[in-house]
Amino acid sequence: MQQHLLASAEIEEYANLVTQQEPDTAAAIADKTRNTLQYTEMLTGKVEGRFLSMLIGLTGAHRVLEVGMFTGYSAYMMARALPEDGEVVTLEMNERYKAIADDCLKDDPHAKKIKVVMGNALETIPKLQGPFDMMFLDADKEHYPEYYELMFPKLKTGGLFVVDNALWYGEVTDPKDRKAEAIDKLNHTIKNDPRVENVLLTVRDGIHLARKTGDDHGTG
Ligand SMILES: C[S@@+](CC[C@H](N)C(=O)[O-])C[C@H]1O[C@@H](n2cnc3c(N)ncnc32)[C@H](O)[C@@H]1O
């Protein structure tokens, strides 16, 4: 089933039009994904990719954790905004997707900032060493609440937690399946979490931002 984003096709198209061009490597990832897999819905795409780059620039993040790399589009857009010694640790479990990322990134100078950890993220996250300055959650929706619990202790104070698909094509307003229920649950968990300040943006499919204001240092 083709699911549609929240804004009209015209508005999405206009936002794309007036957002600066995507870098060549990002365009190559999108092309190869389309040609190899025949689907691109999972890509964050140009507008959100630019948004993630901008968040890195605005926050001055050095170290980022991404859960759900797919073919590397968002990992690349974040990596290229990082300083030379910055790092995106990105988690993925599908070798086929990683092969596309590897192929498109092999000659790009920003690729050295991307570290891919393969395996089930629910098992690999606990083994990671924090702190991270920014986190981007974009993996299987059913487990969003569990990911938040696993990831959040590794976010530094003042760090930014970013959740993709937080509106799930509008289905969170009246959840009818496990994915919508899980996303809705996480949205409320974040809102009621005294350790963060939050805002849910109606950009694309909903981007939930939570800034950690508590005083643990993300080494958990
Ligand atoms: C929506 S896609 C990510 C899109 C990506 N951020 C981008 O911009 O192209 C979700 C990805 O999460 C991966 N994934 C789902 N469940 C996972 C798990 N338990 N562990 C690791 N990766 C997982 C899927 O294989 C898929 O590639």
CA of 71 to the centre of ligand 1 (A): 9
**pLDDT of the residue at 6:** 87
Please name the residue whose Cα sits nearest to atom 9 of ligand 1: 43
pLDDT at 1: 44
Neighbours of 84 (CB within 10 A): 8
How far apart CA 140 and CA 40 sit, in angstroms, is 16
Q: Are 37 and 29 in contact (CB under 8 A)?
A: no
Domains of the chain listed by start with CATH number: 9-212 (3.40.50.150)
Ordered DSSP codes for 21-78: PPPHHHHHHHHHHHHHHS--TTS-HHHHHHHHHHHHHHHT--EEEEE--TTSHHHHHH
- CA angle (204, 208, 214) in 5-degree steps: 160
Q: Which of 43, 51, 3 is nearest to 27 (CA)?
A: 43
Pocket of ligand 1 (CB under 6 A): 42-44, 68-71, 73-74, 91-94, 97, 120-122, 138-140
Q: Which of 3, 29, 42, 148 to mutate to test the pocket of ligand 1 (most atoms within 8 A of CB)?
A: 42
CA–CA separation, 39 vs 87, rounded Å? 28
Overall pTM surpassing 0.85 (yes/no): yes
Ligand 1 center–CA 135 separation, angstroms: 14
Long-range contacts of 214-217 (CB under 8 A, 24+ apart): 214/157, 215/157, 216/153, 216/157, 217/131, 217/156, 217/157
Strand bridging mode 63-67 / 132-137: parallel
pLDDT along the chain (220 residues), means of 10: 77 95 97 92 95 98 98 98 98 98 98 98 98 98 98 98 97 96 98 96 96 73
Q: What is the pLDDT of residue 5?
A: 78
